[in-house]
Structure 1
Amino acid sequence: MPQLTVALDMMGGDFGPPVTVPAAAQALSLLPDLHLHLFGSRAALSPWLERCNLTAHERVRVHYCTQQVTNEHKAGYALRHLPDSSMCRALNALSAGEAQACVSGGNTGALMAMAIKVVQTLPGVDRPALITRLPQADGSHALLLDVGANVCCDAGQLVQFARMGDAVARHVLSQQNPRVMLLNVGAESNKGYEAVRQAARRLNELPALNYQGYIEGNDLFAGTAEVIVCDGFVGNVALKTSEGVARLLLGAGKKRGFWWTLLGVWLKRRLSHLNPDQYNGASLIGLRSSVVKSHGSAGSPAFLNAILQAVVETEHQLPAKIAHLFDTAPQDSHAR
């Protein structure tokens, strides 16, 4: 395997270099074989590189950029007019083979559009999907996709998401026969909108998948599935609602009385595995190389986890495994 190198968009997210540079420094200290290409504004990046002793680090290459993608930029505008942005330059390094993975906390729509154009999707994949881990009651993890890349999906895309999610569960979570379920408003076969019902019928016809039917929102953390499939609108709402509840519970006791403080300490010990920072890093799967989207509001520990997620995917050669799946597995007979 070639040298392990990850390209980082240092300007993405709500905070930029004050978060991304310390995370990069910690990643380098944890992984002695890791090399990083850092992309960002000279004015914003240089002081933090000096502060974290990365200015002349032997495993770091710094690339200064003159543009930045912000949350206000529409995807089409960013694609056409911001070629020297830290996001675009990092993806170009990935496409050129200078890195094996890319991490950005920037604008999701722009990242998706640029990744499709620059990195390109795998043969047989219509659209990449954002996939993330969810903690389960039994201590295991489930995968949820899509969590925001594709707001509206047809049945064929949902089937593709299921197949890609199955591959991630097998190769990253080491699940031998992952249970695949569709997130729906009920467990009955007649529930949900037409695309979900069509996807269910198609998944039942794929013997290579361990499809188990519908799962409802109240069972997302129950340990009843390893792969949970939905469109990006539903997935993003489910994910952010879950994160909000976790932060509410983990923050219990703040600015309150003595007993609330004790409750907060107890909850943090019992529910520490629910901390959303541990699961930061939603991967855009279905691309020719690994692209990981960090949460825009992530702090340094969370951005570090996104970098580590990119490393894990690279070590498992996940894009190649998914490509092989689409080359060899029995095809969806209804696929376009």
Structure 2
Amino acid sequence: MIRVAIDAMGGDLGPRIAFQAAKEVLDRHERVNITLYLSQDDGLSSDDFSQLDSSSRQRLKTVFCQDFIAGDEQVDRSLYKRSESTLYKSLSDMSAGQHDVVVTLGNTAAMVALARRLLGLIRPRLYPALVRELRLNPLRCLLDLGANVHCPAQMLEGFAILGAAYTEVLRSEVAKVALLNVGVESTKGNSVIRQADSALSSRLWPVYNGYAEGFDLFDGENNVLVCDGMVGNTVLKASEGLLTYFSQKLVKTGANKQMLESFYENERHHGASFIGVRGNLVKGHGRSDFRAAIGAIEHGIEMARADLWCAIDKKLEKEGFV
């Protein structure tokens, strides 16, 4: 049985989206239990829970908390004292072995800080990163997506290592890593990119193919593309914004919008994996709708089934990262 915890107060659209997505996931997956972490004023009623069938009702648990962390809150050291918040309690309970994965649509900075504090790092010198599969076939992963904005060369090197481990243990593909840059020529890029390039070039693992350009995000031989969080987050949201723009244009012209949406839905996950910590954690968009929330939860189930963080830990040990 896979045990999923959901920080239901994290999304921009409120806890009802998390509840409805949890209900749908329970209907789809018989061997999944879900715990919703809610605040006392969550807006849900007994009528909402009465919609659950008997099987889902037995597999859905609620934990009511006194506090929750809003998506637009500034993160400071007081965050570590908010042990009664939904995000804190869900992560703390996972660290105590009560859950296999935590899913949140909430504050990214708070998630990163609390995950590092409560779960701990897989390796002291590897900064955790958010990784997202832009495509599944052929595989194309991008990291970091916003967990780390100011990144020295050592962090980019670490992202490459974590991304390669993620790809090889979860997708059973040989990781082919490239650094996202303004050009593929050796003279291109700033000093940080060049230093990371030099460090990765000297490694026996992972396979490193040098620089990649924006053209390579959805095509080409490299399946792990590495950049700092500022670039990664911008690229991801620009790609999704372009899809939305094209969809709206297609509606006006009467073209087949459903075909485009179907292709996109089949080619991605609705959620980024936060890798590098000692636990399975999925971060979805704050603005996630019903369908996106379901996708984030189902990606979490996949991570839990693979016991992803433990598999990455073993892969790093095998490759000599102690």
Output the CA distance in 2 between the equivalents of 1:80 and 1:276.
Answer: 38
Shift of 1:78: 5.8
Which residue among 188, 192, 196 is the counterpart of 1:199? 196
Output the CA distance in 1 between the equivalents of 2:230 and 2:191.
Answer: 16
2:169/2:312 contact within 8 Å kept? no
1:157 aligned onto 2:147:
no
Question: 1:3-58 deviations in whole A, cap 9, x for unaligned?
Answer: 42011101111112221111101111111111111101233153274254279811
Q: Which residue of 1 aligns with 2:52?
A: 53
Gaps in structure 1 of 5+ consecutive residues: none
Question: 1:158-190 deviations in whole A, cap 9, x for unaligned?
Answer: 111111111111122221x22111100110112
Question: 1:51-78 deviations in whole A, cap 9, x for unaligned?
Answer: 5427981112210011111123122256
2:126/2:159 contact within 8 Å kept? no
Output the CA distance in 2 between the equivalents of 1:304 and 1:192.
Answer: 39
Shift of 1:277: 9.7
Q: Which residue of 2 aligns with 1:306?
A: 296
CA 1:40–1:125 in structure 2 vs 1: closer, same or farther (change >3 Å)? farther
Question: 1:165-219 deviations in whole A, cap 9, x for unaligned?
Answer: 11111122221x2211110011011211112111111111111211111111122
Shift of 1:278: 4.5
Opposite residue 165 of structure 2, the aligned amino acid is A
Q: Secondary structure at the match of 2:102?
A: strand
Shift of 1:316: 1.1
Output the CA distance in 2 between the equivalents of 1:202 and 1:89.
Answer: 39
Output the CA distance in 2 between the equivalents of 1:276 and 1:153.
Answer: 32
Select between 49-58 and 231-240 the one with higher mean Cα deviation: 49-58
2:40/2:65 contact within 8 Å kept? yes
Which residue among 213, 217, 220 is the counterpart of 1:216? 213
Q: Which residue of 1 aligns with 2:90?
A: 90
Select between 75-84 and 159-168 the one with higher mean Cα deviation: 75-84
Q: Which residue of 1 aligns with 2:79?
A: 79
Select between 87-96 and 322-331 the one with higher mean Cα deviation: 322-331
Q: Which residue of 2 aligns with 1:166?
A: 164
CA 1:130–1:54 in structure 2 vs 1: closer, same or farther (change >3 Å)? farther
Q: Which residue of 2 aligns with 1:230?
A: 227
Compute the TM-score of the two structures, normalised by the length of structure 2: 0.93
Select between 201-210 and 120-129 the one with higher mean Cα deviation: 120-129
Opposite residue 178 of structure 1, the aligned amino acid is A
Gaps in structure 2 of 5+ consecutive residues: none
How many pairs does the alignment contain? 320
1:1-336 pair list within 5 angstroms = 3-44=1-42, 46-47=44-45, 49-50=48-49, 52-53=51-52, 57-76=57-76, 79-135=79-135, 139-175=137-173, 177-254=174-251, 256=252, 260-261=253-254, 263=255, 265=256, 267-270=257-260, 272-275=262-265, 278-330=268-320
Q: Secondary structure at the match of 1:103?
A: strand
Q: Secondary structure at the match of 2:149?
A: coil
Select between 281-290 and 11-20 the one with higher mean Cα deviation: 11-20
Opposite residue 60 of structure 2, the aligned amino acid is V
Question: Once the two structures are aligned, what percentage of the paired residues are identical?
Answer: 31
Select between 290-299 and 81-90 the one with higher mean Cα deviation: 81-90
CA 1:45–1:37 in structure 2 vs 1: closer, same or farther (change >3 Å)? farther
Cα RMSD for the two superposed structures:
2.2
Q: Secondary structure at the match of 1:122?
A: coil
Shift of 1:140: 2.0
